[in-house]
Structure 1
Amino acid sequence: MDGLDGPRFGPKDGDAPDALVVLVHGFGADGNDLIDLGAMWAEAVPRALFVAPHAPQPCDGIPYGRQWFPLWDRSPMQLEAGVEAAAATLGRFVAQEAARLVLSPGRVALMGFSQGAMTVLEAGLRGAVPDPACILAYSGGMIGADRLAERIRGQPPVLLVHGEADEVVPVAATRMAESALIDAGVPVRALYRPGLGHGLDEVGLAAGAEVLRRMLSPT
């Protein structure tokens, strides 16, 4: 599994999982940073298993953090190569987890924060994770957004959430992603949160819970 693993939560109701929600952390964090969302969102999808894998690489400059791809060179070519490799690694992990749980691709949801948001958008739209139920991308953006239309492999519904006061990833990154998704025919909802910095808030998390409930409710 490319060495990927991380904390897990659920299913809340104790039954066998009927859905998988993969929580993808940001630069310098690890899976423990997001797994508490499982307990919160389990109210919406009580039969889902939540998994928050640790990124595969040690983090540049942060001894105990992890990264999905390096940021020392932020040229477009290097960033695109980095996020593509990260998406492929995540895709293999998701495929193995789904096979272990005997779940179809449509029973898998992807969520990411910051660098994790960039990774899940790449993975879920460009085929590394084929046909996910939905993508939830918080405080991130899309690397290579200007080339989405020529590389897109699927059109899962996408929720974008970004704080307008984000001091780490400018909100313009999500506005650009929203525009690219619309142009590519992807169903997208974007929430821009006044006064929110680089983080999550109750409104954005409630919106994510509603998307999970709608897309992963038992058929």
Structure 2
Amino acid sequence: MLDGPRLAPASGGPARKLVILLHGVGANGRDLIDIGAHWAPIFPDAAFAAPDAPDPSDWDPAMRQWFRLGVRDAHEYWLGAAAAAPKLDAFIDAELAHHGLVDADLALVGFSQGTMMALQVGPRRARPMAGIIGYSGRIAGPERLAAEARSRPPVLLVHGAQDEVIPVAALAETAAVLRGAGFRVETIERPGLPHGIDAVGLSAGAAFLRQVFGTAAA
């Protein structure tokens, strides 16, 4: 079973919402749990969890990755994301059960390879989750989505215009695939931003979560 850092609801009460944060290659859950700390005052009844990916990173064995990135072609992305998906699904199920929540109370937030995992797992769950946020990522196996999607949660995609790791063209490509499969998608391109998440992206993510969670603005 995956594990990683967690944040209990800032309210001190039981969790009414759950946000799972999925890191990229060569990182771990600690890299993204700070997003939970940033959003906690806005969503005081939400629990946050940032699992460490299952495999040691090829770049740094002390860090983690969801799957290997060798030649970086579309088929390789899909094979890796599909192989890692059951582990993430099991983690999601365990976290929801721990808090007594259901998929409708859940949002997945991914960065880079974590976005691939969020878009791999979220649409293939039988019951729709509240929403998916993908920062600086892309979809794996785009040609498979329409046939394999079992639910269609709303999606927010945010990408830096100067991303040197996953080109910004992936933003429009991923959005087109999702929309073609019947998803509601919002996109934000951040001028001048390299491979990362900036304050504007964090604010947009919070606004999206307010919407999909039905939470009043703080």
Question: TM-score by structure 2 length?
Answer: 0.94
- Shift of residue 218 of structure 1? 6.3
Structure 2 stretches of 5 or more lacking a match? none
* Equivalent in the alignment of 2:86: 88
**Aligned counterparts of 1:103 and 1:111: Cα–Cα separation in 2:** 17
CA pair 51-94 structure 1, distance change in 2 beyond 3 A: same
Mapping for residues 5-44 of structure 1, pairs under 5 Å: 5-44=3-42
2:156 counterpart SS class: strand
The answer on whether the counterparts of 1:45 and 1:217 sit within 8 Å (CA) in structure 2 is: no
Which residue, 100, 117, 120 being the options, matches 1:119? 117
* Equivalent in the alignment of 1:139: 136
**Aligned counterparts of 1:25 and 1:146: Cα–Cα separation in 2:** 24
* Equivalent in the alignment of 2:156: 159
Matched residues, number: 216
**Aligned counterparts of 1:40 and 1:15: Cα–Cα separation in 2:** 18
Structure 1 stretches of 5 or more lacking a match? none
- Shift of residue 116 of structure 1? 0.2
Question: TM-score by structure 1 length?
Answer: 0.94
**Aligned counterparts of 1:92 and 1:114: Cα–Cα separation in 2:** 21
1:94 counterpart SS class: helix
- Shift of residue 72 of structure 1? 2.1
**Aligned counterparts of 2:172 and 2:214: Cα–Cα separation in 1:** 29
Percentage of pairs with the same residue: 48
**Aligned counterparts of 1:151 and 1:132: Cα–Cα separation in 2:** 16
2:61 counterpart SS class: strand
- Shift of residue 9 of structure 1? 1.3
**Aligned counterparts of 1:156 and 1:17: Cα–Cα separation in 2:** 21
- Shift of residue 61 of structure 1? 2.6
Which residue, 34, 44, 68 being the options, matches 2:66? 68
The answer on whether the counterparts of 1:56 and 1:68 sit within 8 Å (CA) in structure 2 is: yes
Q: What is the one-letter code of the residue matched to 1:59?
A: S
**Aligned counterparts of 1:29 and 1:191: Cα–Cα separation in 2:** 24
